A and B are shown apart, each in its own frame.
Chain A
């Protein structure tokens, strides 16, 4: 099996690149910290003077882990959705998870001005946004699951997800219309996504959801491979389509829902990484694809975060602007170069 050996080599390469990118990410930021200091902070118990120790351990390191989990989690969600719907345009948010989350967050941030709870600016702790986002995603998920139990056709779920997105967008725009500028800005900024400012506690919670989601996804590997042959064929092979669909939706929700709750709706990564990986590793075997998109998603997210931090300057850019700015040209270039779309 020389060709699977080559894939294993590629997987190893992706893993090494990911680790390297993580180290580069820790090393770069607005504040210049000498390499020597970084190593002594990370690998020894010596304390360094000034704020560099805090910046590395309490700000950059959690950010690196957040980038790892969000990038890989969204990429896996995107892969699962693309396979489930056999649609190359599907991404982690096709079920309407981010729409639900955005509605939850919009109600918390902007609802007060509409439901007339006085105009005192609500100061939101991070948890209220995380909880609002989770509840929003969860409600949409329940609706999708109820619908999917009733529907034989998987494609119909896609349409339902789109309808949810339209519905929530409409409600959000009504809320936005009546909101004062400051609250509107808060909501817009949430929608830009952000990897920074998560404490270790939050990163740990994200990690738990990530592990659960990935474990469920691993359980689906065999069925994912048969799904690519078509639902009827999969049924004839004894795959329980509805149970399988349920598991895939649960995995996606655990990953995309928790990521949206902590980092906001991060665009593009989930849709693009599976395509990027298929161009590099032209296979449809999810045993290979799943770890490959985990590493690939993490790499893309880390690179985007490095770019967003604008190392050496005092400024940063919103992560969502960067994911598409960097990601889209790469996908276009790959497709044109290969002249062949692998799906």
Chain B
């Protein structure tokens, strides 16, 4: 894919000598997908894994209004910071904006109904956020007419025609790769990526540290449990059972909550499709079943397949789903908030597997199947 380079600003004025030609790296502990280097008057943001197995990295120049940029600086796109009007394309981007108190800058989003957050829903109902169409099919004309300073996109691969058109109109499109991160804290750390665009790097770091500390504290707490129950995850479609891989984001939560995930030893990305037979054989006696897909009630479960009745977790009514925590317009809260708040996901699971450790805890995402 070829990137069209834009530098809408001319470098005017004489060059100044920089005191920090190498820049100062913003500390990033867990995330593997981005780096930020701070220079005087500008930052260089590198996105390393915009999509899985990407063979290219993107370097974005985030520059103050009147900063002069040395001519040898190489970059793919330039963004003037702090940004005032932004378009994001995934609900997972919204919690970061809210945590940084920048939700007011959001002017457009594709698929408004998916957004669950009450703060942002209130702005939608006041008509402050424009609907940009459905997921992959962003309405380019409406987007360009909004004239945002920045579009945060995500790409499954490097060929998104819509984004190329938007770039040609002079609006920078920045790829966010938070969804390719594999660790819970790695995903959450992308709040620093958002912080960079608002010049709120310190605030982003401080809020991330709170989340990290809370996560680590909960993980330590879970180690005190006197048992480590077996857990099944995923669900069946037709006669294929889809379970998350043992090294996946979902599975790490289960492990960190001190439980024994049945497919914990598998490796890969996404989820594995297994035959119903083998899942029944292996997981029949699992104590818990978490994240059974879209199911909200036992009735739905049995309507889809009576085979589910064979599992001990179903018989004991120990099935927990995030599909019952919905936003006002039906969006699933977990999809939106879980990547940014892994500490809440972990606490939910600890309160399920080891209720004695977190008495009186009110779960955010995971609720018992009705």
Give A residues with C-beta under 8 Å from B.
Answer: 29-31, 50-52, 54-55, 58-60, 63, 113, 118-121, 123-127, 177-182, 186, 189-190, 192, 194-197, 199, 309-310, 314-316
Contacts and interface: CB of A to CB of B under 8 A. Distances in A.
Given A127-B303, A178-B134, A199-B306, A194 B278 contact: no
Nearest to A128: B303
B273 A51 contact: no
Nearest to B279: A314
Contacts of B275: 29-30, 309-310, 314-316
Given A197-B307, A315-B273, A55 B281 contact: yes
A125 B303 contact: yes
A30 B280 CA distance: 10
A222 B135 CA distance: 56
B111 interface: yes
Contacts of A124: 304
Given A63-B239, A194-B238, A315-B272, 15 more contacts: A29-B277, A31-B277, A54-B280, A58-B310, A59-B239, A59-B277, A119-B114, A119-B329, A120-B326, A125-B303, A126-B304, A177-B137, A179-B134, A194-B239, A310-B275
Interface secondary structure of B, over-half rule: mixed
B277 A113 contact: no
Contact of B274 (A179, A190, A315): A315
Contacts of B134: 113, 178-180
B276 interface: yes
Interface in B234-251: 236-240
Interface string B265-292: 0000000111111101100100000000
B7 interface: no
Given A177-B137, A186-B237, A126 B303 contact: yes
Contacts of A177: 137
B227 interface: no
Contacts of B240: 316
A59 B238 contact: no
A182 B271 CA distance: 14
B295 interface: yes
Nearest to B303: A125
Contacts, number: 104
Given A31-B281, A315-B273, A189 B135 contact: no
B131 to A, nearest CB: 11
A194 B237 CA distance: 10
Interface string B215-240: 00000000000000000000011111
B162 interface: no
A55 B306 CA distance: 13
Nearest to A112: B330
A30 B237 contact: no
B137 A197 contact: no
B296 interface: yes
Contacts of A63: 239
B103 interface: no
Top-4 shortest CB links A-B: A196-B239, A120-B330, A125-B303, A194-B238
B294 interface: yes
Contact of A178 (B113, B137, B280, B307): B137
Nearest to B281: A31
Interface in B110-164: 111, 113-114, 134-135, 137
B85 to A, nearest CB: 25
A266 to B, nearest CB: 13
B300 interface: yes
Nearest to B135: A180
B341 to A, nearest CB: 22
Contact of A59 (B135, B272, B307): B307
Contacts of B239: 59, 63, 194-197, 316
B276 A59 contact: yes
A31 B275 CA distance: 9
B331 interface: yes
Contacts of A126: 303-305
Contacts of B273: 315-316
Contacts of B329: 118-119
Given A178-B134, A181-B135, A196-B276, A51 B281 contact: yes
A296 to B, nearest CB: 25
Contacts of B305: 126, 197, 199
25 contacts: A30-B274, A30-B277, A30-B278, A30-B281, A31-B281, A55-B280, A58-B306, A58-B310, A119-B331, A120-B326, A121-B323, A121-B330, A125-B303, A126-B303, A177-B137, A180-B134, A180-B135, A186-B237, A189-B238, A195-B239, A196-B239, A199-B306, A310-B275, A314-B278, A316-B274
Contact of B310 (A54, A120, A182, A309): A54
Nearest to A52: B281
Q: Which of B281, B303, B310, B330 has the most CB of A within 10 A?
A: B281
Contacts of A189: 237-238
Interface in B184-232: none
Contacts of B114: 119
Contacts of A186: 237
A126 B137 CA distance: 30
A211 B114 CA distance: 47
A196 B280 contact: no
A31 B278 contact: yes
A55 B277 contact: yes
A196 B277 CA distance: 10
A316 B279 CA distance: 12
A190 B239 CA distance: 11
Nearest to B300: A123
A113 B113 CA distance: 10
Nearest to A196: B239
A180 B329 CA distance: 15
Contacts of A309: 275
A191 to B, nearest CB: 11
